[in-house]
Amino acid sequence: MTEKEKLGKYLTKLRQRVPSEEYSKDHISQQELADNNGLTKYLIGTIERGEANPTLDKLIFLAKALKLKKVNIFEIEINVDRYIKEIKNK
């Protein structure tokens, strides 16, 4: 398994923990995740399959969509809401 595939598998597990608000499924679908957060289903699918090289911005928006408050990258804790606010104010 490649490192990108590990990331994709981890993100799939995170998505499967978020309950669906629109569909009669136990967890949010890629489409529902995309619809509510400015991401595309295609991008989410390629990340989950380990095919994409998502930017930090895309990963942060994905973290927000997955209802994460903070993420750790290179042992640096990033506040998801603050990061999004900063890039929107540029």
pLDDT in tens, 55-77: 999 999 999 989 899 999 888 98
Q: How far is it, in rounded angstroms, from Cα 86 to Cα 90?
A: 7
Q: What is the CATH number of the domain that holds 41?
A: 1.10.260.40
Q: How far is it, in rounded angstroms, from Cα 39 to Cα 62?
A: 8
Number of domains in the chain: 1
Query: 45 lies in which domain range?
Result: 3-88
Which distant-in-sequence residues (6+ apart) come within 8 Å of 67 by Cβ?
18
Q: How far is it, in rounded angstroms, from Cα 50 to Cα 68?
A: 21
Q: How far is it, in rounded angstroms, from Cα 84 to Cα 56?
A: 11
Give the predicted TM-score (pTM) of the model. 0.83
pLDDT in tens, 22-55: 777 789 999 999 987 889 999 999 999 999 989 9
Q: How far is it, in rounded angstroms, from Cα 11 to Cα 44?
A: 9
